[in-house]
Structure 1
């Protein structure tokens, strides 16, 4: 007994300590949340001055919501310290709620203030950013004459279609730089006039315009390098393609290989002579596609040659066998629906699905199509055999269900004979009595089919 009371006192002491810690945490959370609110109020004022009223809408809404909920937290704290005695459970519940409200308030304000941190920082650095935009614009403008010369030089070597992506870049870059410089001036004037929101928008526009202008100028220099690389790659692919054409002559000359060889020869013949302005990117794309198509056709032909192609007659025989077995299975199951369980029905449904896939493979009704392409015969044979196998399985399961549903031999139950084994069935057939009555009517027919 002494041990029990000692353990209980220890538990009570631990609970009291936990409640005291929770109370201190609730008080410190109230102080921290209240300070966070005051900080957020100051941040709203500064952000509105720097970014304009529209930018601080989310933070203002968060502040309103936090103030509303913090009133509840302060009210709960007041209840904890009024003259009315409270139970330990009441104090614990209130302090827990206070902590929850304060943590939620701090998290919400922190999230909204963090979203404004970067825009505020940029607004504070507006003079520095505007100066950098002007410096970047001046630096990029110095590169425009060289970009124009590069485009002119490229025009003597490459076709207009190849230069479509960069021919207008110098002119567009110059326009963007003028816009960036103008926007920087607008940003300064709006900022001096106290129109901070408009000033920030103009500053962002200036920064983006200067960045895009530099990207356009860089693209001209990048194009020249990429064009030279494309020419080198094209030369290598041409040599490789000529070798592939020679090797393809030893591959099985099936229609796909012959067609791919012709396409590659056409692509080679379309290459311009030396000294003619060309589009290396377009020719490289054509050569790659034609070369890859020939490789794929040769690989498929060699793979096909490694295994025999089923004769058309064998495929048709397999299709006919599948259709016959499907017809028998359908008739038996349709004629004895009350006795047939789920296994037979499932096999029949799957057999019919595979048979439908067979029609899609051959591009029509498999039983009547004039011919089946050699490339499709393996799959057609596989589907036909699978359909026949499933139909045979359906027929065997149907036979099992019918046998299980037949009345057993012996005296009729109404004459006092035993009923042992009467009406047994397996699978998921319909009502037992329906199966028995059906068996009495058509039992002789079933005997003729299955026995």
Structure 2
């Protein structure tokens, strides 16, 4: 009886495994269902948000149409034409958004991907339409504010015009006073700023008079008023540049003195470095920069009347001296490195040439011209390395000699094998 029930334990194991599989499958199905429900809820929330945005955009467009009618009455059809074009563009976006919403609402089934894509598109179209309408609304508000400003702020601008004119005269007098202390070239930029200020004030005055004279014409008066205000703003900024002349020139003098002192110290360092360099090569390259720096410092007496130019010149000389010092140190480093490596490179070249010569001599009857040519070139390069005064060039020649000798040995062994 016990032998007849041998299959019962196996059945229990398989049954337990089946139960586990079923439980896992049910749990996975429930988890998938929960994910689908959550995704559906998120999609539904997005669609509800898109619908609310559609309503908001449609209301904004209707309000903009009413506002356009008021703008045409206030500023004229020509001035309101841009507003109309913006409304037409926003209306096109809104119509496309309504078409996509219709697809979402119709009876035909749509995939979640399609619904998600259409919802995103609806949101983007509505956002674009609202942004365009908002920008144009701000522009109309600015036009109205400018129109009101012709009457309300005209006197304020006239006072600003007079105040800037008085400051311009004072700035010009200040520059005339500085003529005895600085060269004409030092004052050129500041005089140009005064000239630009005067031109802008003249243009602003003409625009202001035009705006006040056309106060009954609405938009033309507002445009002239805006132009006057803008030019007064630019004139104020230019005038600030001219008014800083004495302070900027004094600061430039201080900066130039500091730069000259630093350059003098760096020049002494460069001269000491020059004494430690090879008499040719690195030292020769540094000599020109040292001479330029010395002449630049000696010539400062003729340049201090223009501290701006003096500072720029000193900075240029200083930069070139530093570059020359760096290049000289690098070149000297290459020379020192080559000199320390040269003896070893020559020994290696001689040894490899001897090996190649022995390989050719051992089987000279079978060795062709290629190996012999390489050996001759190796010997020539070694002779160049021994005669060359420049350690960098000598090191290169010694390394070429080793390379050619290696080639000669390899070719000789190849020829000897056949």
What's the TM-score bracket when you normalise by the shorter of the two chains? 0.5 to 0.7
Q: 2:253 aligns with which of 214, 231, 234?
A: 231
Please name the residue that 1:69 is paired with. 96
Structure 1: give runs of 5+ residues left out of the alignment: 81-85, 322-367, 400-444
* Inter-CA distance 450–67: structure 2 relative to 1 (3 Å threshold): same
Deviation at 1:199, TM superposition (A): 4.3
What's the counterpart of residue 148 of structure 1? 172
Contact 2:182 2:306 (8 Å CA) reproduced: yes
Tell me the alpha carbon deviations over residues 137-183 of structure 1, each in whole angstroms, 9 at most, x when there is no partner.
Answer: 23212212210111101211111112211124334322311211221
Deviations 1:320-354 (A, max 9, x none): x9xxxxxxxxxxxxxxxxxxxxxxxxxxxxxxxxx
Deviation at 1:228, TM superposition (A): 0.8
Displacement of 1:56 in angstroms is 2.4
| SS of the residue 1:62 aligns to | helix
Counterpart CA distance in 2 for 1:288 and 1:234 is 9
Please report how far the alpha carbon of residue 214 of structure 1 lies from its aligned counterpart in structure 2 after TM superposition: 1.4
TM-score norm. by structure 2 comes to 0.62
1:308 aligns with 2:275: no
Q: Distance in 2 between matches of 1:42 and 1:386?
A: 89
User: Corresponding residue for 1:185?
Assistant: 209
Match in the other structure for 1:258: 287
Is 1:272 aligned to 2:239, yes or no? Answer: no
* Mean Cα deviation higher: 150-159 or 101-110: 101-110
1:122 equivalent in alignment to 2:142: yes
Normalised to the residue count of structure 1, the TM-score between the two structures is 0.58
What is the root-mean-square deviation of aligned Cα atoms in Å?
Answer: 5.0
Shift of 1:134: 3.2
Residue aligning to 1:342? none
Question: What pairs up with 1:46-85 in 2 under 5 angstroms?
Answer: 49=74, 52-56=79-83, 58-66=85-93, 68-69=95-96, 72=99, 80=106
Question: Does residue 448 of the first structure (1) align with residue 383 of the second (2)?
Answer: no
CA contact (8 A) 2:47 2:119 kept: no
Partner Cα separation in structure 2 for residue 35 and residue 390 of structure 1 = 85
Indicate whether 1:286 and 2:313 are aligned: yes
Cα 1:63–1:245, aligned 2, differ >3 Å: closer, same or farther?
closer
Please state whether the residue corresponding to 1:163 is helix, strand or coil: helix
Please give the residue correspondences for 1:83-122 in structure 2 after superposition, counting only pairs within 5 Å: 86=107, 89=109, 99=119, 102-122=122-142
Contact 2:54 2:126 in 1 (8 A): no
